[in-house]
């Protein structure tokens, strides 16, 4: 029964509880904290304080770690290399997990909880049906753990990452690469609907420079191997770049603000103060009459959506397409547009990857999708062939045809070939409008005439004059009004684009309400 006198309280145990909490708040100790700051990074607990709404963080599993004892008295404590809990972001609850690089470089080691283990953070987000945010700063597994547990172990990470796969199908997931991230945490960076890095302090790779040296004999720096320039511009593994950790938190908040807490709820509407019937005069001249001149589709998107609401995703990768989230009359929507300022707006493999991810994001979380199309077609040429443009095109066709969220396309310029058909869906709530500046067909008249009329052109006394004559004849029948006569295609005054889209998105809410729940086409990262 112990020696405690009857009627006394539990003050000593409560004091011990507070002492253990204080030791856990010390993370890896003064030396580890100083090293973290010297590397230009906040500690995990500073990150939690900066990210969460004030006084809303409720930590769980905070007493987990390794204690040392003398005569049953606690003499020291090393917390586990993670801080996890629930908090609010702009008044909405999320589950937050953050790696603590001051403790063993963020490594979880080889020891796992056994019988009686509390529910992991990813499982809580899954069961509570709330968004999941990872602040990644972890080096993954370490061979040091083999000595600690006295054995090696079979890789069984999928036992713990299975919930992460399910999360992609049910709640918004964000991964922020806050430091050097390797191993399983590097994969977790991609098991997300949106991810980002911090300029100058973030790196991402399966194994760092020492591992590369041992495996391949190559000497590389962290930046060369997995820096932000590589991943935001070339590989597309990371969506957005934050200049600072504070900006990273703002980007996460903004992204989550467009999405519902889970797939069983509607996305939140917010009053933007921007009239839905606003007609933007600049749209009448947004597309130049001279088709050789490029124009900035960003300006068109920003002129149509609610002012200040456009949030671009992956701006430095696959730049032939613009993708992101925005609001129309306060309702969240997905937005994509061809970008004539890069590759003439032609869809290459990288741009196609961006489009497919946006389509799946909108379908998963029940957001209408708006497309501003100026589509020259799929990228041609040897480099495009080496990248497998045909397979990428087939996947885009499937992604569009499998989708079911309400979709609207505004054809502002060109619409050619199979890439053009990817701006159209034959089922569900779909609407297509065209501006008078639109032109379309199976291919461009200039290149198509040279192929279809090759013999006639080559046999003419003046081949060049003949080619121009044929192209002029074809151009005369390329007016969108000719198409409208035969098909009923709606041609609109560009200035009416916003009012029409706002009405479409408002009407779409009734359809979206019938689609709540998991999407039949699972999200793929």
pLDDT at 134 over 80: yes
pLDDT at 171 over 90: yes
CATH of domain 11-257: 3.90.226.10
Query: Tokens 């050619």 map to which residue?
Result: 416
The pLDDT of residue 447 is: 57
Are 192 and 174 within 8 A, CB to CB? yes
The pLDDT of residue 142 is: 59
pLDDT at 111 over 50: no
The pLDDT of residue 397 is: 96
Closest-CA residue to 245 (of 202, 282, 210) = 202
pLDDT at 449 over 70: no
What confidence tens digit (pLDDT) does each residue in 276-306 have?
999 999 999 999 998 889 999 999 999 999 9
Mean pLDDT of 383-412: 96
pLDDT at 434 over 70: yes
- The whole-angstrom separation of Cα 289 and Cα 286 is 9
Are 417 and 378 within 8 A, CB to CB? yes
- The whole-angstrom separation of Cα 407 and Cα 419 is 16
Least confident of 268-277, 287-296, 389-398, 423-432: 287-296
Mean pLDDT of 404-414: 97
SS (H, E, C) 82-142: EEEEEEEECCEEEEEEEECCCCHHHCCCCCCCCCCCCCCHHHHHHHHCCCEEEEECCCCCC
**What separation in angstroms does the CA of 141 have from each of 81, 105, 157, 315?**
12, 10, 11, 32
Phi first, then psi: what are they for 428, rounded to 5°? 70, -170
Beta strands in 339-494 (DSSP E): 369-375, 407-416, 430-434, 439-441, 490-491
pLDDT at 144 over 80: no
Mean pLDDT of 133-155: 74
What confidence tens digit (pLDDT) does each residue in 477-502 have?
778 898 999 999 999 999 999 999 99
- Residue 183 CA, chain-centre distance (Å), reads 21
State in Å, rounded, how far the first CA of the chain is from the last one.
56
Least confident of 140-154, 206-220, 472-486: 140-154
The pLDDT of residue 455 is: 78
pLDDT at 475 over 80: no
pLDDT at 109 over 60: no
Mean pLDDT of 219-228: 93
Phi first, then psi: what are they for 448, rounded to 5°? -65, -35
Mean pLDDT of 372-399: 94
Q: For the chain, give every domain's residue range.
A: 11-257, 281-435+492-513
b/e burial code for range 236-265 (CB count within 10 A of at least 16 → b): bbbbbbbeebeebbebbbebbbbbbbbbee
Which tokens in the block code for residue 383?
A: 């480099």
Who contacts 468 (Cβ-Cβ below 8 Å, separation ≥6)?
A: none
Other Cβ atoms closer than 10 A to 280 = 17
Q: Is 281-435+492-513 the same fold as 11-257?
A: yes
Instruction: Give me the chain's average pLDDT, please.
Output: 91
Are 450 and 471 within 8 A, CB to CB? no
Percent of the chain with pLDDT over 70: 91
Who contacts 514 (Cβ-Cβ below 8 Å, separation ≥6)?
A: none
User: What confidence category does residue 151 fall into, taking pLDDT thresholds of 50, 70 and 90?
Assistant: confident
Phi first, then psi: what are they for 210, rounded to 5°? -60, -35
Who contacts 36 (Cβ-Cβ below 8 Å, separation ≥6)?
A: 42, 43, 101, 102
Angle at 204 between CA 127 and CA 43, to 5 degrees: 70
Mean pLDDT of 88-109: 87
Give the largest CA-CA distance in the chain. Answer: 116
pLDDT at 141 over 80: no
Mean pLDDT of 377-389: 93
The pLDDT of residue 74 is: 87
Burial class of residue 490 in the structure, from the number of CB atoms within 10 Å of its CB (0-12 exposed, 13-18 middle, 19+ buried): exposed
Angle at 137 between CA 132 and CA 140, to 5 degrees: 100
> CA dihedral defined by 486, 488, 494, 495, rounded to 10 degrees?
140
What confidence tens digit (pLDDT) does each residue in 224-262 have?
999 999 999 999 999 999 999 999 999 999 999 999 999
The pLDDT of residue 110 is: 46
281-435+492-513: in CATH 3.90.226.10: yes
User: What confidence category does residue 220 fall into, taking pLDDT thresholds of 50, 70 and 90?
Assistant: very high
- The whole-angstrom separation of Cα 497 and Cα 503 is 10
Mean pLDDT of 187-196: 97
Closest-CA residue to 97 (of 81, 112, 109, 118) = 81
Which tokens in the block code for residue 249?
A: 């938190």
pLDDT at 112 over 60: no
The pLDDT of residue 474 is: 66
User: What confidence category does residue 464 fall into, taking pLDDT thresholds of 50, 70 and 90?
Assistant: confident
SS (H, E, C) 367-408: CCEEEEEEECCECCCHHHHHCCHHHHHHHHHHHHHHCCCCEE
- The whole-angstrom separation of Cα 319 and Cα 296 is 12
What confidence tens digit (pLDDT) does each residue in 320-372 have?
999 999 999 999 999 999 999 999 999 999 999 999 999 999 999 999 999 99
- Residue 407 CA, chain-centre distance (Å), reads 19
- The whole-angstrom separation of Cα 180 and Cα 431 is 45
């Amino acid at each position: 029964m112990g020696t405690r006198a009857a009627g006394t309280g539990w003050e000593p145990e409560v004091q011990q509880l507070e002492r253990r909490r204080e030791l856990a708040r010390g993370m890896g100790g003064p030396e580890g904290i100083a090293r973290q700051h010297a590397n230009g990074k906040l500690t995990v607990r500073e990150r939690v304080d900066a990210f969460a709404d004030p006084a809303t963080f409720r930590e769980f599993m905070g007493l987990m770690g390794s204690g040392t004892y003398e005569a049953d008295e606690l003499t020291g404590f090393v917390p586990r290399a993670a801080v996890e809990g629930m908090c609010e972001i702009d008044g909405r609850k999320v589950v937050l997990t953050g790696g603590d690089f001051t403790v063993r470089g963020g490594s979880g080691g080889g020891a796992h909880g056994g019988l009686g283990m509390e529910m992991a953070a990813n499982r809580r987000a899954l069961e509570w049906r709330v968004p999941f945010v990872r602040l990644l700063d972890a080096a993954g597994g370490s061979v040091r753990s083999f000595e600690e547990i006295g054995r090696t172990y079979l890789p069984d990470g999928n036992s713990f990452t299975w919930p992460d796969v399910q999360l992609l199908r049910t709640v918004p997931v964000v991964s922020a690469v806050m430091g050097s991230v390797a191993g399983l945490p590097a994969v977790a960076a991609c098991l997300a609907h949106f991810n980002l890095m911090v300029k100058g302090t973030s790196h991402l790779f399966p194994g760092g420079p020492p591992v590369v040296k041992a495996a391949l004999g190559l000497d590389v720096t962290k930046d060369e191997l997995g820096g932000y320039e590589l991943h935001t511009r070339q590989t597309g593994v990371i969506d957005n770049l934050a200049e600072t950790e504070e900006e990273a938190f703002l980007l996460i908040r903004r992204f989550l603000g467009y999405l519902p807490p889970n797939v069983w709820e509607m996305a939140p509407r917010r009053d933007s103060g921007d009239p839905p019937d606003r007609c933007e005069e600049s749209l009448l001249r947004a597309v130049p009459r001279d088709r050789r001149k490029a124009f900035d589709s960003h300006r068109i998107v920003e002129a149509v959506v609610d002012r200040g609401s456009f949030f671009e995703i992956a701006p430095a990768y696959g730049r032939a397409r613009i993708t992101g989230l925005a609001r129309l009359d306060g309702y969240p929507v997905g937005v994509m547009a061809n970008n004539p300022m890069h590759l003439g707006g032609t869809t290459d493999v990288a741009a196609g990857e961006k489009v497919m991810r946006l389509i799946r994001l909108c379908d998963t979380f029940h957001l209408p999708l708006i497309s501003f199309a100026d589509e020259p077609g799929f990228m041609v040429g040897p480099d495009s062939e080496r990248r497998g443009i045909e397979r990428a095109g087939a996947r885009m066709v499937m992604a569009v045809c499998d989708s079911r969220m309400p979709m609207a396309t505004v054809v502002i310029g060109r619409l050619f070939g199979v890439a053009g058909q990817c701006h159209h869906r034959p089922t569900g709530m779909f609407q297509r409008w065209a501006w008078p500046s639109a032109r379309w067909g199976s291919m461009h008249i200039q290149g198509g005439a040279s192929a279809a009329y090759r013999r006639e052109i080559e046999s003419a006394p003046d081949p060049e004059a003949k080619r121009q004559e044929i192209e002029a004849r074809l151009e005369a029948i390329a007016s969108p009004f000719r198409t409208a006569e035969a098909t009923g295609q709606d041609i609109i005054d560009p200035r009416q684009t916003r009012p029409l889209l706002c009405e479409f998105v408002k009407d779409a809410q009734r359809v979206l309400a019938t689609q709540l729940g998991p999407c039949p086409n699972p999200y793929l990262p």
